[in-house]
Amino acid sequence: MDIREFSMDLFSLKGKTAIVTGGNTGLGQAFALALAKAGANVFIPTVMDDDGETRRLIEAEGRRAELLTIDITGDGAPEAVVERCVATLGAVDIVVNSAGICNIAAVDQFDRAQWDPMIALNLTAAFELSYAASKLMIEQRSGKIINIASLFSFLGGQWSPAYAATKHGLAGFTKAYCDELAQYNVQVNAIAPGYYATAITQATRSDPQASQRVLDHIPAGRWGEVADLMGATVFLASRASDYVNGHVLVVDGGYLVR
C-alpha cells in the first residue's frame, strides 16, 4: 500500500463479525464494546448473566449482539459456537479468546483440582475455538485471532502456577498459529494486560499497602482502566494491523520495564 492510500478507514470494523469469549464481564466486556464501537457485530459465548447490560451497550452502538449461554470447555462447544455465530450473524472474522479464571492457593495446596479447570478454560478452550474458527478464516483468506495473555506470560507468579502456565502457553500458541496462518492472511496476536481496576483486583486495591506495592511497579502511577485496552483491541482486529503478526502487545502502564 502506498503511503498516500493510508486512511483511518483501515481501523473500521464495519461489516465484520467478532466472537468474544467471556465478553459480558470485566475486560471481556471492554473488548466486545470496543469492537462494536468500531463497527463489528459481536457474538458472546458466556456462562455469566449480566442482566442484558452488554447487549444494551452493543446495540446502543447500532450493532448486533448475540449471547449464547454455553460452557466453552465442553465437548464440541467451540465448534457449536462457531456454527451458531455463522448462523445468526453470518460470518466469523475476529476471535477474541478472553474467557479465563485464576484460582489461587499456596504451592502445597495447588493440586490437580486447582490446575485442571484453568488449563481447560484459559488454554485448551482458546486453542479449540481458534482451531474451529481458523478453518473458516483459511477458506475466506482473512481473519484476526486475538488471545488475551497477561504479564504472567513473561513472569512467574506466586499462588497460581496454572495461571502463569496458561498465559505462557497462550503466548507460545499465538506465535505458533501465526507461523501457520500468516500464509492465509490471518493474523494471530495477543494482548497482555497489566494490573487493572476490575472486580478480580478489588481485594488488592482495597488494601492500601498491597495496592501501593503494585503501583510502585507501574511508571504510569495508576491502575489500568478497562478502557485503556479498547484501542489495542480495535487495532489488532482491524486492517491497520495486517502486517502485525505473532506479537504479544503489552498494555501495562510500563510495569514490565521497572
Q: Which uninterrupted H or E stretch holds 146?
A: strand 143-148
163 as an active site residue: the answer is yes
Instruction: Dump pLDDT digits (tens) for 26-48.
Output: 999 999 999 999 999 999 999 88
Q: What is the CATH architecture assignment of 9-251?
A: 3-Layer(aba) Sandwich (3.40)
Instruction: Dump pLDDT digits (tens) for 159-207.
Output: 889 999 999 999 999 999 999 999 999 999 999 999 999 887 888 899 9
42/36 Cα distance (integer angstroms): 7
Which cell goes with 47? 456462562
197/195 Cα distance (integer angstroms): 7
Instruction: Dump pLDDT digits (tens) for 67-103.
Output: 999 999 999 999 999 999 999 999 999 999 999 988 8
Which cell goes with 34? 470496543
Measured in degrees and rounded to the nearest 5, phi and psi for residue 129 equal -70, -40
In the chain, domain spans: 9-251
**Catalytic pick from 163, 177, 195, 255?**
163
| CB count in 10 Å sphere of residue 75 | 9
pTM: 0.96
Q: Does the pLDDT value for residue 249 go beyond 90?
A: yes
**Angle (deg, nearest 10), helices 26-37 and 230-237:** 50
Residue with cell string 479447570:
117
Which cell goes with 37? 464501537
Instruction: Dump pLDDT digits (tens) for 113-129.
Output: 999 999 999 999 999 99
